[in-house]
Amino acid sequence: MSISRDDIEKVALLARIRVNDQQVAELEQDLGNILDLVDQLQAADTSNTAPMAHPLDAVQRLRADEVTETNQREAYQAIAPATEAGLYLVPKVID
Amino acid sequence: MHNKSVAELSRALASGEVSSVELTQHFLDRIQQQDSQYNSFITVCEENALADARQADELRSQGKATPWTGVPFAHKDIFCTNGVRTTCGSKMLENFVPPYDATVTANFRQAGAVCLGKTNMDEFAMGSSNESSYFGAATNPWGSNRVPGGSSGGSAAAVAARLTPAATATDTGGSIRQPAALCGITGLKPTYGRVSRYGMIAFASSLDQGGTMARTAEDNALMLNVMAGFDAKDSTSIDREVPDYTATLNEPLKGLKIGLPKEYFSDQLSPAMEQTVRNAIAEYEKLGATVKEVSLPNANLAIAAYYVIAPAEASANLSRFDGVRYGYRCDDPKDLMDLYTRTREEGFGDEVKRRIMVGTYALSAGYFDAYYLKAQKVRRLIQQDFVNALKEVDVLMSPTCPSPAFVKGEKTNDPVQMYLEDIFTIAVNLAGLPALSLPAGFVDGLPVGLQVIGDYFAEARLLNAAHQYQQVTDWHQRTPE
């Protein structure tokens, strides 16, 4: 199955990865090859098969609704690219 | 000293033949002198290691030693280490110093082991050759132009080159077994959920599993004794008793039923590879095992299912790298969208971007059913094949990979060719089963691995089977020149 340039650009935007024109051309080829590989799946008869999310069919555990974590804001923010007054800084979003 | 196993080093420390400081310095010296050839470490922790070694010697003198107290080892650079840079082989995390320990890291710390450093790997564990590492490819000690395999190639190369007696590793599609095979060492991927994923940087969460690498099966058992166990911090951890994996190593193999999946002995395998693997299986027959052919009819769909599920989960997991909370951030972002898109363009390498985009596509509106849901259904078919085969036999055996270590650069321009390297390992991850690779001979002077696959939580049986083979063969003792 082939994938169009428009698809690549849309996917890049969804994935929040900037791509230039040359990369779009390369990705068109590479992703097309990968999608050809995975298209083998369509031949399998799965009409009576339930999807599998966990190998042991385990489900999420529940726990008591209690505070178990301690506040480590300073330690976590110490490794952030930009912080101020306990907040993470990003470029201005609202004018 | 560097040719000794973990078990032997542990005894040498206990008898006072050597101190942990001496041992640690010895391995640090070897890394210093030789790792420029292998590039197997991203970070060497000289000061921390020596401090930990001094503390280990102190604990030992007080009679408070575990088998690991003072024994040096290395961590794959995917396990978070409090205060020590953890890169995951990526520019995105080039300067990331975690403020916490992974559970696996904490377990080794608790046991008193001495971490020599963090080993090289494919970026975010995506690769089968180590060539996608931002820090340059590691080299296979068996050939200076050969890849060590991946993604845990640095761990495998470091163990093979005797720069560390053991190293942690992770396996999402073969990333422990394939490099172990290519570097001529023993590596175990445990059952999904056996070892905590907390603090192990996520790639594909329904497949990722931490595991062990060392030269002998016994050393792998010693490592798993430290690593295995329930962890409330990992939502898919399994709460189940952990046996002493060394306790059953010496059980005889008489009556062991071995199945050979016919799909794994196909024409993808060269005659020399097949002969080497069959010779190893013949050795098992001499040890009292019986052999029969079995079938995994959906094995041919494993790569396709994997290359939907793994990229889909990766695209979700790697969305956390946004340039805001930690890790790389691009210079002078003009707005928030520019911050995200340029940080991720500049911070991720090509293979990681490819997989994020494949995964994003497979999960996007209109494609979810055709790709992700379909792959999850095929995943169950693949699992059922294994469940059925393991009703007939105790373990399955196959080659670990289709060929020995390939030449660097040979597959870097063709992602699909690189993906096919995992053709015999990947289905095991989809099924969530444990499997190990052990050295079983050589083809063209390069090591060949035998893969042994077991039922859920049968790690002890796999280690027992590998250990018994290693009592009658010496492939695992061979040293690269």
Cβ pair A49:B192 closer than 8 A? no
Q: Quote the strand ranges of B348-454, DSSP E.
A: 395-399, 435-443, 446-454
How many domains does the structure of chain A reveal? 1
The model's confidence at residue A59, banded by pLDDT at 50, 70 and 90, is confident
> What local confidence, expressed as pLDDT, does residue A1 receive?
58
How far, in Å, CA of B135 to CA of B112, rounded? 29
Residue A24 belongs to domain spanning: 5-42
How far, in Å, CA of B187 to CA of B160, rounded? 12
Give helix B350-363 / helix A5-14 axis angle, nearest 10°: 100
CA B356 to chain A, closest CA, distance in angstroms equals 7
**pLDDT digits over B198-249, tens only?**
999 999 999 999 999 999 999 999 999 999 999 999 999 999 999 999 999 9
Q: Give the global pTM.
A: 0.97
DSSP state of B195: B
Cβ pair A52:B380 closer than 8 A? yes
Residue A92 maps to a domain: no
When the candidates are 2.10.109.10, 3.40.50.2300, 3.90.1300.10, 3.30.750.24, the CATH number that belongs to B6-251 is 3.90.1300.10
Closest residue in A to B431 (Cα) is A55
- Who among A10, A49, A91 is closest to B336 (CB)? A91
* For testing contact with chain A, the best of B340, B380, B433 (most A CBs within 10 A): B380
> What local confidence, expressed as pLDDT, does residue A55 receive?
87
> For residue A50, which residues of chain B lie inside 8 Å, CB to CB?
377, 380
How far, in Å, CA of B429 to CA of B419, rounded? 14
Dihedral of CA atoms B436, B442, B447, B452 in degrees, nearest 10, equals -10
CA A40 to chain B, closest CA, distance in angstroms equals 6
Cβ pair A44:B378 closer than 8 A? yes
How far, in Å, CA of B44 to CA of B216, rounded? 24
Cβ pair B432:A44 closer than 8 A? no
Which positions of B are catalytic? 76, 151, 175
CATH number of the domain bearing residue A37: 1.10.20
Cβ pair A81:B324 closer than 8 A? yes
Q: Does pLDDT of A44 surpass 90?
A: yes
- Who among A16, A37, A39 is closest to B416 (CB)? A37
CA A57 to chain B, closest CA, distance in angstroms equals 10
> What local confidence, expressed as pLDDT, does residue B357 receive?
97
Closest residue in A to B376 (Cα) is A51
Number of A:B CB contacts under 8 A?
A: 171
Of B326, B93, B323, the C-alpha closest to A79 is: B326
Token reading at A33: 């090859």
Q: Could you report the predicted ipTM of this complex, rounded to two decimals? A: 0.95
> What local confidence, expressed as pLDDT, does residue B237 receive?
95
Q: Does pLDDT of A63 surpass 90?
A: no
Residue A19 maps to a domain: yes
Is the minimum CB–CB distance between A73 and chain B shorter than 8 Å? no
Centre a 10 Å sphere on the Cβ of residue A78 and count the other Cβ atoms it contains.
12
Domain spans of chain B, in order of start: 6-251, 300-375
Residues 43-72 of A with CB under 8 A from B: 44, 46, 49-56, 58, 60-61, 63, 72
Which residue type sits at B323? G
The single residue listed with the structure tokens 């080829």 is A29
| Segments in chain B below pLDDT 70 | none
Is the minimum CB–CB distance between A34 and chain B shorter than 8 Å? yes
Rounded to the nearest 5°, which phi and psi values hold at B247?
Answer: -70, -25
Residue A55 maps to a domain: no
Residue A68 maps to a domain: no
Residues B256, B45 contacting (CB under 8 angstroms): no
Specify which residues B213 forms β-bridges with.
B167, B187
The single residue listed with the structure tokens 């169009």 is A4
Token reading at B250: 């010496």
How far, in Å, CA of B248 to CA of A30, rounded? 47
CA A91 to chain B, closest CA, distance in angstroms equals 5
Kindly report the three-state secondary structure assignment for every residue of B98-109.
Answer: CCCCCHHHHHHH
* For testing contact with chain A, the best of B315, B378, B384, B418 (most A CBs within 10 A): B378
Give helix B459-472 / helix B217-227 axis angle, nearest 10°: 160
DSSP structure string for B276-296: HHHHHHHHHHHTT-EEEEE--
Rounded to the nearest 5°, which phi and psi values hold at B166?
Answer: -160, 160
Residue A16 maps to a domain: yes
Residue A70 maps to a domain: no
Residue B348: strand, helix, or coil:
coil
Of B248, B253, B251, the C-alpha closest to B291 is: B253
Cβ pair B326:A63 closer than 8 A? no
Query: Residue A56, exposed/middle/buried by CB under 10 A (0-12, 13-18, 19+)?
Result: middle
Residue A72 maps to a domain: no
Cβ pair A37:B307 closer than 8 A? yes
How far, in Å, CA of B353 to CA of A30, rounded? 11
Cβ pair B360:A41 closer than 8 A? no
- Alpha-helical (H) ranges within B119-231 are 153-160, 177-183, 217-227
- Who among A76, A81, A92 is closest to B329 (CB)? A81
Cβ pair B354:A27 closer than 8 A? yes
**pLDDT digits over B35-76, tens only?**
999 999 999 999 999 999 999 999 999 999 999 999 999 999
- Who among A50, A60, A80 is closest to B325 (CB)? A80
